[in-house]
Amino acid sequence: MKYYVGDAYSGQRVHVGLRAFTLEVRTLAGEQIATHTRVYGSQAATVHQPQQLLAGLIRKPAAFLNSAL
């Protein structure tokens, strides 16, 4: 399972906290990056929030056709 946190954190180390129903992603300094509803199962999928995709779509408008929006 992959949880998308935005292009700004690509390749960076982050802290991930797994809770019963949520997954929290924070910077190493403790700043909250994202909170996702936790997904169970073994299916390959990417979990994202639409607002996290906007920065990348603004930079690359043609990517909208292949986006999850």
Rounded alpha-carbon distances, angstroms, from residue 48 to 21, 29, 41, 61: 15, 22, 16, 18
Residue keyed to tokens 């979990």: 47
Indicate the pTM of the whole model.
0.58
- 21, 29, 1, 7: CA torsion to nearest 10: 120
Per-residue pLDDT of 20-61, as tens digits, reads: 998 899 999 999 988 888 878 776 666 566 666 666 667 777
